[in-house]
Amino acid sequence: MKVIKAELEKVAVHEEQYPPEDIYEFAFAGRSNVGKSSFINAMLNRKNLARTSSTPGKTRTINFYRVNDDLRLVDLPGYGYAKVSKSEKSTWSGIINEYLEVRENLLEVILLVDIRHEPTAQDLQMFEYIIDSGYSGIVIATKADKISRGQYSKHVSTIAKKLGIKNKDMIIPFSSEKKDLVEEMWEIFEDIVKH
Ligand code: GTP
Ligand code: MG
């Protein structure tokens, strides 16, 4: 798909601030610093429309990116960032849970994990929620440029095992630096919209 128009439509914390449920949404969940905002930038072919940072905890709101006035990519706040207070952590999970529970036009929730690391207990919890909610269970293994291609399958197996995924094709190694799979990812998303 060619991205002709991409804009940050809305920055929200609670339901009353969300944009209308008029077009489908794909939401991206994962640990802080895993590369959610970078993934969205790569998909939109924009350098820093979704603000990224090497400091974890950058995205603390739900950011709705409207693409071609046709669908939205939704950047969720990252979880698992150690250096925030307990109350702040529960606020974050509240923000994510509220969105996941109420959003009727949410077509997929896609989990991002770092290809180099075994998923955490929180990743597993998020993934189980995704499966229990009836979503496809696509996992994007980020920062794929940090390992060699020859190592992909070993790392994908570790992720599959931890998350209980039988079909390893559901785990897609992706590099927001190389951006080589952007077109394929759009095809996957478009197929989901059509079905
Ligand atoms: P929060 O907003 O804190 O939840 O983080 P995030 O998941 O949005 O991560 P973000 O996209 O800000 O990326 C975090 C860091 O990882 C940045 O320094 C990015 O440049 C880097 N990064 C993200 N994706 C990739 C990738 O595919 N390859 C490499 N080499 N670095 C990446
Ligand atoms: Mg972010």
What pLDDT is attached to residue 72? 98
- For residue 63, how far is its CA from the centre of ligand 2 (angstroms)? 9
Query: According to the model, what pLDDT value does residue 83 have?
Result: 75
pLDDT score at 39: 98
145 burial level (CB within 10 Å; 0-12, 13-18, 19+): middle
What's the pLDDT score for residue 67? 98
Nearest CA to ligand 1 atom 18: 54
The string of pLDDT tens digits covering residues 124-178 is 999 999 999 999 999 999 999 999 999 999 999 999 999 999 999 999 999 999 9
Query: Mind listing the pLDDT tens digit for each residue in 57-108?
Result: 777 899 999 999 999 999 999 998 777 778 777 778 889 999 999 999 999 9
Residue ranges with CB less than 5 Å from ion ligand 2: 37, 58-59
- What would the mean pLDDT of 112-122 be, rounded to a whole number? 97
SS3 50: coil
pLDDT at residue 186 tops 90:
yes
Ligand 1 centroid, distance to 105 Cα (angstroms): 27
ipTM topping 0.95:
yes
Measured between alpha carbons, how far is 94 from 101 in angstroms, rounded to an integer? 10
Mean pLDDT for the stretch of residues 31-51: 94
Residue type, 102: V
Q: Which atom of ligand 1 lies at the shortest distance from residue 55's CA?
A: 3
Distance 195 CA to ligand 1 centre (A): 31
> Which protein residue has the closest C-alpha to ligand 1 atom 16?
35
CB atoms under 10 Å from CB of 25, counted, come to 22
Token pair belonging to 13: 């914390």
**Spacing of C-alpha 95 from chain mean position:** 15
Nearest to 130 by CA among 173, 86, 76: 76
Ligand 2 center–CA 149 separation, angstroms: 26
Atom of ligand 1 nearest to the CA of 112: 7
Per the CB < 8 A criterion, the answer to whether 71 and 26 are in contact is yes
Q: What CA–CA distance (Å, rounded) separates 180 from 136? A: 23
How confident is the model at residue 177, as a pLDDT? 97
- For a mutational test of ligand 1's pocket, the pick from 8, 32, 33, 43, i.e. the residue with the most ligand atoms closer than 8 A to its C-beta, is 33
What is the pLDDT, as a whole number, of residue 40? 97
Backbone angles phi, psi at 96, to 5 degrees: -65, -50
> What domains appear along the chain, each with residue ranges and CATH number?
6-194 (3.40.50.300)
Q: pTM for the full model?
A: 0.96
Q: Are 100 and 133 in contact (CB under 8 A)?
A: yes
